[in-house]
Chains A and B, each alone.
Chain A
Amino acid sequence: MRSELIGLDVVVLSAPFSGLTGKVVDETRNTFTVDSAGTERMVPKQGNEFRFIYQGRFIDIKGTEIQHRPEDRIKKVR
């Protein structure tokens, strides 16, 4: 998963943020900021699982697999 994640719709699948739905508005090495109906919430990548809606398909990813800075994700992931 090396494509751009900012702007995608996302559902958080794991515990404390479970069911949080919205658009990714920012990404850092360790977190996503999700805009969910007007409120922004920062979700750590570590320990969370995400479901991205990418080109009409659901893609489930563990946060730890994409724990890189967005610009490093192109070269490091997979």
Chain B
Amino acid sequence: MSKRRLPRNAAARIGNERIAILLELAEQAVRDGRDDRAIRYVTLARRIGMKTRTTLPPGFRYCRECMLPMIPGSNCSVRLTGRKVVSTCGSCGAVRRVPYLRENRK
């Protein structure tokens, strides 16, 4: 099989399309209770992102430890502690804390 390469922007365009498809399937899989598939789809989407040097859409939240899409109210909890946003993954228990000091200073 030939290894002819695509120009980078064409690869990135296809990459973005495929990432969008996979992330949609991942959310669908969570709703169907198929977490194993959801994790697989997010992993594949991330790999495609790395290969084509595109980023996952910033609005898409997933657990950085187990790659499960995070859907507040369904499989994760999001709490404000006064200094940080604390998101806990409902399946592996990983905790992610994002500070919001700048907003507090105003």
Q: Which residues of A contact B (CB under 8 A)?
A: 2-4, 6-7, 25-26, 65, 67-68, 70-72, 74-78
In-complex Cβ contact of A74 among B1, B4, B11 (8 A): B11
1/0 contact trace for B82-105 toward A, CB 8 Å? 000000000000000000000000
- Residues on A with C-beta less than 8 A from B22 are 4, 6
15 contacts between A and B (CB under 8 A): A3-B14, A3-B18, A4-B17, A4-B22, A6-B22, A6-B44, A68-B1, A71-B47, A71-B48, A71-B51, A72-B51, A74-B18, A74-B51, A74-B52, A78-B2
Interface residues on B, range: 20 to 34
The smallest beta-carbon distance between A33 and chain B, in angstroms, is: 10
Which secondary structure characterizes the binding site on chain A? loop
How many A-B contacts if CB must be within 8 Å?
49
Q: Which residues of B contact A (CB under 8 A)?
A: 1-6, 11, 14-15, 17-18, 21-22, 25, 37, 40-41, 44, 47-48, 50-52
Contact assessment for A76 and B3 in the assembled complex, using a CB-CB cutoff below 8 Å: yes
Alpha-carbon distance A76/B52, docked complex (angstroms):
12
In-complex Cβ contact of A3 among B17, B44, B51 (8 A): B17
Contact assessment for A78 and B4 in the assembled complex, using a CB-CB cutoff below 8 Å: yes
